[in-house]
Structure 1
Amino acid sequence: MKASIGESLGDYTRHEILSTMESESQKIFKENHPKFTPNQLIETMSRKGIKFNLMSREEAKKRITENTYYFKVGVYRHNFIKDENGQYSNLDFAHLDDLAILDMRLRKILLNMSLDLEHSLKTLVNSIVTMDKLEDGYQIVQDFSTTHKFDLSNMYGIYDKRSHYLNPVKNKHSSCTSVWVLLELMSFGELSKFLEFYFDRTKISKKRLVYPAKLIRYAKNVRNAAAHNNPIILNLSGMTSISPDPKIMQTNHKMGLDKSLYRNPRINDILCLFFLHDMYCSKGVRNHLISELEAFKKRCMRNASYYSNNNHLKELYRNLELLIDYYKFK
């Protein structure tokens, strides 16, 4: 029997052809979300009720053309409500621009905190392993690699021609990797898995590792969002509630944070990062963070009047101030 055209093409070729064919839903989506020029974007925002009183249309156009882009700024409109006609209430483009700037600054602070924490926890684990008479520093790497199907070749970038920065380490250590080399090269996400693994494995200093092992996965979420420039000040209310760790809940209670806020998964991730940073980073590192947080709090207050009619954002910033003050004075 003669093969059909589809059969004669082969599975791979059929897949490639089908993947390039536009579905009806894709066609409709494109029609509803066409490419817009800056002027068209301004008009579209205006039709949705976004005002240009605090920042003129020309200034807004310059912002989304030279300093940022609409998708990066426009996403913050979800922090504002619409009226019964689907129009945004009390929303000016300047509000979106201000939130985008604040979020950028917050992401930088959270990313720096993540880097501080990563260094401190790697130092802690290195110290514990060094004092552990049951570890030779090598077998633990093999056991972790086997348990978590961790590919050491990927860590060294053996299959990546651009990995010349790692060549000196790779040439010397890739054939027999020690835990101190592993800790130096592994990512934050890999460190998260390793801490959980090592907590279950070690017989010493378990109390020093209990909170990193339990909470590092939440701090990792913040680190990834900040590193990839994902918006932080977004969807901070109305999400599915979670039950934070009892120690985190106790700390939140001391700070006076609103319970409905810290049960939000995004807020919980941030609070876990703060908790671990406070517990494991040095005094000098903490003092530097306090200076950054104070500057951020001051910047938040610059345009506080923008959000006088937005109870959600007012409550968010009030709790953020409580968090900063607690971290500073505790």
Structure 2
Amino acid sequence: MTPILGESLEDNVRHQISGMIETDSQKRFKTNHPKLTPKQLIKKMRSKGIEFKLISEKDARDRISFNTYYFKVGVYRYNFDKGEDNKYVDLDFAYLDDLAIIDMRLRKILLNMSLDLEHSLKTLLNSVITKNRDEDGYQIVQDFSQKYKFDLNEIYDQYRKNLHYLKPIKDKHSDCTSVWVLLELMSFGDLAKFLEFYYERATILKKKFSYPAKLIRYAKNVRNAAAHNNPILVNLRGRNISPDPKIIQESSKIGLKAELYRNPRINDLLCLFFLHNMYCSQGVKDHLIDELKIFRERCKKNPHYYQKNSHLLDIYEGLNLLIDYYENK
């Protein structure tokens, strides 16, 4: 029997060939979403109901040509409603541009918060493991690698492009890696796994790791979005989840509406703020408060843009309540 095309080929070869064959769905998508020049993008935005009263078309073209790009700005249109004609209602390009700037500043704050939290939790782990007489600092690394089934050399290999920074560490520690070296090299995602792992293992000061073990996976989502420059202030309505009881409790204290803290993205933000407040030093928190005050003032720059958007007003009120909570803790 003659084999059909690709039947006798290795899986990876078949995958490469299938990837070269354009499907009908892909063809339709390309037809409906062609590459457009800035001038064409402006025309497309107008067809969707986006206006250019506060920013001229020329200035908008310059913005998406030299300062940012359409996909980065246009994504914020999902925060606005459409009318019966399927066009956006009361949406000027200036609103999108303003939200993109606010979101960019928020991402920088959130990334710094993530780095603060990562350092503080690694410091705590080092301290507690050092105090634990049941840990020699090496067996825990072997147990962790076996549980998650990864080769410890991968910890070094993931930095191979920057190996000139890590070569002394790799040369000395790769054959017998200690927990203090592992913590120094592991990513935020690996740290989240390690915290969950160590909470189950801990024999002393176990309570210190209760909240990080449960909430770090959500804070990780914020860290990844901020680090990859993904928009934060979109998709902030609907999609109810059941947050951790501690998040519900703290959200109620803050005064957040249930429809906000039950949104996945808001829940992620709350977890990051809560853990940062609990585990970072007072000096670090004071610096964050200064940044949050500056950020809040920037949010007030164009309040008239959003007077008719109850959803964004709720988000702004929620951020204000969260900042107030953090400043007063």
Aligned in 2, Cα 1:7/1:143: closer, same or farther, shift over 3 Å? Answer: closer
> Do the aligned residues in 2 keep the contact of 1:50 with 1:93 (CA within 8 Å)?
yes
Q: What's the counterpart of residue 200 of structure 1?
A: 200
Aligned in 2, Cα 1:48/1:205: closer, same or farther, shift over 3 Å? Answer: same
Whether 1:289 aligns to 2:257 is no
Identity of aligned residues (%): 65
TM-aligned CA deviation for residue 157 of structure 1: 1.8
Q: What's the counterpart of residue 313 of structure 1?
A: 312
**Per-residue displacement from partner, 1:190-234 (whole Å, max 9, x unpaired)?**
000001111101110011111111111111111111111111000
Write the letter of the residue equivalent to 1:88.
Y
* SS across alignment from 1:6: coil
> Do the aligned residues in 1 keep the contact of 2:141 with 2:178 (CA within 8 Å)?
yes
For residues 184 and 85 of structure 2, the distance between their equivalents in structure 1, rounded to whole angstroms, comes to 56
Q: What's the counterpart of residue 248 of structure 1?
A: 247
TM-aligned CA deviation for residue 150 of structure 1: 2.9
Question: Over aligned residue pairs, what C-alpha RMSD do you find?
Answer: 1.6
Aligned in 2, Cα 1:158/1:213: closer, same or farther, shift over 3 Å? Answer: closer
TM-aligned CA deviation for residue 110 of structure 1: 0.6
> Do the aligned residues in 2 keep the contact of 1:157 with 1:166 (CA within 8 Å)?
no
Q: What's the counterpart of residue 39 of structure 2?
A: 39
Aligned in 2, Cα 1:271/1:5: closer, same or farther, shift over 3 Å? Answer: closer
Q: What's the counterpart of residue 298 of structure 1?
A: 297
* SS across alignment from 1:175: coil
Q: What's the counterpart of residue 77 of structure 1?
A: 77
How many pairs align? 328
Q: What's the counterpart of residue 48 of structure 2?
A: 48
* SS across alignment from 1:326: helix
TM-score, normalised by the number of residues in structure 1: 0.96
TM-aligned CA deviation for residue 151 of structure 1: 2.4
Question: Where do 1:1-330 residues align within 5 Å?
Answer: 3=2, 6=5, 10-11=9-10, 13-157=13-157, 160=160, 162-239=162-239, 241-330=240-329
Q: Which runs of 4+ in 1 moved over 4 A?
A: 11-15
Aligned in 2, Cα 1:14/1:125: closer, same or farther, shift over 3 Å? Answer: closer
Write the letter of the residue equivalent to 2:262.
R
Write the letter of the residue equivalent to 1:315.
D
Aligned in 2, Cα 1:8/1:135: closer, same or farther, shift over 3 Å? Answer: closer
Structure 1: where are the runs of 5+ without partners?
none
For residues 131 and 9 of structure 1, the distance between their equivalents in structure 2, rounded to whole angstroms, comes to 58
For residues 56 and 129 of structure 1, the distance between their equivalents in structure 2, rounded to whole angstroms, comes to 60
Write the letter of the residue equivalent to 1:310.
N
